[in-house]
Amino acid sequence: MYDRILVPLDGSPLAEQVLPYVSRISLGMGVPVHLMQVLHPVNEEMADPAHGLFKSSIDAGMHDQAIDYLDSVKRNMTGKEITCHAVEGNVVSSIIEESDKMPRALVVMSTHGRSGVTRMLMGSITDNILHHIKNPMLIVCGHREGEPELDTNLETILVPLDGSPLAEQVLPHVAALANALELKVTLLRAVATHDQFSAATGVGRIDGASGIHFQNFEAMAQTAGNQALDYIEAQEAALRRQGVADVDHRMIPGGAAHVIVDAALETPDNLVAMTTHGRSGPARWTLGSVTDRVVRRSGDPVLVVRTA
């Protein structure tokens, strides 16, 4: 599934909070880790050639400091094989360019997603990368000083599915992680309610040739629920055939975002795995809405797979 793990770091404790997850995945899946740091280009005004301070020497010094930092991180990590390098350039484009060289790499980054006055929308850098990267990406919602310590234990993968082939593209990743890390898998399916069917039409009763009346919404919801159950049980069976020993499902009334967040809050030590796109239309799962809300509100690591 993955042939390496790419971990961009910026020297901050927040960014380093991904490392326990990285080590576990590296050891469990037997894949190497590549640490990288992006250095901001040195401004010419910082140099002072008259006093022997040249831009090239500043660049070299910053590069050496970055490598020393990454080496210190490497010494404190466990993993199959750990390499590191530093590069100068724009942070977002440099990380995307590096990931393009590693099409089968899992990219792991942290973001600060707590609600409140200081909340960042997933973290501007992580958010920008997520919108443009082709690789699967594990986003870890870190904590700042004074906040509760991050619990890095993992026991369950929560997998929201909406019945679309696009959403199912996360399942090979789920099977690989579950088998390698010995995790339980719980499939989640949001089921439309009577009220949602009624609201979707904009009316409570339609008279005339259509023959659709208020009471039909109950039957529509029941039919949709039965179809969703058949679907989720088929996906559960498919995962078992791929070797996942512990897998179950939950059918939850409501919309996608709150179903995922509520399930994540109720399930300790979990990872949420989802794609960047699901069903089209008003219930579409988008990076700017559902993924952001799940990362911010659940506080759990989220694996995001870009659909083909």
pLDDT digits (tens, 9 = 90+) for 181-216: 999 999 999 876 655 555 555 555 445 445 555 556
Which is nearest to 22 in space by CA: 10, 34, 12?
A: 34
**Rounded average pLDDT over 223-238:** 89
Q: Which domains does the chain have, with CATH numbers?
A: 1-152 (3.40.50.620), 154-301 (3.40.50.620)
**Rounded average pLDDT over 139-151:** 65
At residue 172, the pLDDT reads: 97
In Å, what is the CA distance from 307 to each residue of 19, 60, 131, 139, 165?
26, 40, 12, 17, 9
At residue 236, the pLDDT reads: 97
CB-hemisphere CA count at 13 Å for 74?
18
Asked if the model's pLDDT at residue 23 lies above 90, the reply is: yes
**Rounded average pLDDT over 232-261:** 88
CA quadruple 16, 29, 292, 150: dihedral positive or negative? negative
Which is nearest to 167 in space by CA: 235, 250, 82?
A: 235
CB 80 within 8 A of CB 26: yes
Q: What sections of 76-170 are H helices per DSSP?
A: 91-100, 124-132, 165-168
At residue 196, the pLDDT reads: 52
pTM over 0.95: no
Q: Which residue has the higher pLDDT, 95 or 149?
A: 95
Least confident of 71-80, 119-128, 279-288: 279-288
Q: How far apart are CA 94 and CA 248, in angstroms?
A: 40
Q: Which residue has the higher pLDDT, 79 or 278?
A: 79
Asked if the model's pLDDT at residue 288 lies above 50, the reply is: no
CB 271 within 8 A of CB 287: no
Q: Which residue has the higher pLDDT, 230 or 112?
A: 230
Which element (helix H / strand E) includes 27? Answer: helix 19-29
CA quadruple 122, 154, 101, 166: dihedral positive or negative? negative
